Amino acid sequence: MPLLTSADKALWRLALPMIFSNITVPLLGLVDTAVIGHLDSPVYLGGVAIGATATSFLFMLLLFLRMSTTGLTSQAFGAKNPQALARALVQPLLLALGAGLLIVLFRNPLIELALSIVGGSGEVLEQARRFLSIRWLSAPASLANLVLLGWLLGVQYARAPVVLLVVGNVLNIVLDLWLVMGLHMNVQGAALATAIAEYATLLVGLGMVRKVLVIRGISWAMLKTAWAGDFRRLLALNRDIMLRSLLLQLCFGAVTVFGARLGSDVVAVNAVLMTMLTFTAYALDGFAYAVEAHSGQAYGARDGSKLLEVWRAACRQAGVVALAFALIYAVFGEHIVALLTSLPELQQLADRYVLWQVVLPVIGVWCYLLDGMFIGATRGAEMRNSMAVAAVSFALTLLALPVLGNHGLWLALAVFLALRGLSLAVIWRRHWRNNSWFL
């Protein structure tokens, strides 16, 4: 028996570029931090940090644009339906551009709302305001890029994420150095660099989409009429995934909030450990993205055997990678912490909680993969309900904080990931037994 089956190879063909893309996402923030961190005042770095956090929260809520597009596109791809492929591109793209324009038009009150929630010194907030007033001008491009990435992933264009990432990041780095260090534009330069990079990435993405449209025989006439159709289904799907994303954001935000209540050292240690968890999640999400595309294709073709092949391949490959992360953290966890912080007191405190980084990849991998299955089937309502169950369980586990301290916080996160996977598995198993997955 070969080491890798054809299903394994097909999964890796999409997963590997997505893993590479995902784990290098933090590079963009790292470059901004490194460049701004060399300016003559810490208020600049504080302003960019707040601005980047607000931007990340807003765009993460709108990540449903990428997820729903991948699901609808992969189904159309599996069904070999050019008209549905065109609709899966045009409708979300119109929605993304509309939402982006609204953010641009109302960015000033949105910025003031975000800054009032975050709080901080007047000088830092002023720098954040300057950063966001320029950064959010790229909202139409940023959201459109989510749609283009989702569509290209849905048609299994494996190189797309890497190309888009390289174009955006390289241009951003060059512009960062020129505008911030060369022209001394400070935080405005960092924001402008990112905005220009987003629009440049959009142009490259449109070029890649055009190539696929020609290959798939999708004409301009199809695109012009593709806006019409079942728009309500798209809106309902996006509503459900957005609510799911909101619950996800709130639970991870609660880790920081409750960690801060346990002390400044605890919140600092949790930030270090969360970096490890985030890196792991980004890597394993590469498999989830591949599952979205392949399971959606199987869903569109109504091919149950293909769907099982995808699931088994994902369990084998992602399971091995999750175990590898667990082993690395078990053996080298303390050394990794030492690379992330040079403060001895934080290193000693972090050593108490490194065990959670060993456990969480093995617990979390299943909810990532099942998310991919449900996105491919565009079952947004069930994903929302599963997330609600997990969020309630997370909140109930937090009641143990007075007894367990910071261990209780990490336990709540483990319960959250486990319940997401378990609830989706129960739903998936019920559908499979009742032959209702393709209905």
Q: What is the pLDDT of residues 301-323, one digit of tens each?
A: 999 999 999 999 999 999 999 99
Same-domain check for residues 200 and 267: no
Among 229, 260, 292, the domain boundary falls at: 229
177 and 57 within one domain: yes
Q: Same structural domain for residues 184 and 269?
A: no
pLDDT of res. 357: 94
- Would residue 17 count as lying in a domain? no
Does 285 map to a domain? yes
- Asked if residue 307 is part of any domain, the answer here is yes
Give residue 221's pLDDT. Answer: 87
Distance CA 149, CA 42 (A): 35
- Model pLDDT for residues 171-213, shown as the tens digit of each residue: 998 999 999 988 989 899 999 999 999 999 999 999 999 999 9
Same-domain check for residues 212 and 239: no
Looking at the structure, tell me whether residues 265 and 376 fall in a common domain: yes
Residue 278 domain-assigned (yes or no): yes
Name the domain boundary from 212, 229, 246: 229
Has residue 377 been placed in a domain?
Answer: yes
Say whether both 225 and 264 belong to one domain: no
Same domain, 347 and 383: yes
Which pLDDT value is given to residue 4?
Answer: 85
Whether 197 and 259 share a structural domain:
no
pLDDT of 113 reads: 93
Residues 66 and 103 in one domain: yes
**Res 275: pLDDT:** 81
Point out the residues of the chain with pLDDT beneath 70.
1-2, 24-34
Domain hosting 426: range is: 230-439
Same domain? For 246 and 392 the reply is yes
Nearest to 29 by CA among 143, 132, 173: 173
Residue 30 lies in a domain: no
The number of beta carbons lying within 10 Å of the beta carbon of residue 175 is 20
* Domain-located, residue 13: no
Q: Identify whether 27 is part of a domain.
A: no
The domain boundary residue, chosen from 179, 201, 229: 229
Q: How many domains does the chain have?
A: 2
Give yes or no: residues 273 and 378 share one domain. Answer: yes
- Do 363 and 432 fall within a single domain? yes
| pLDDT value of residue 69 | 96
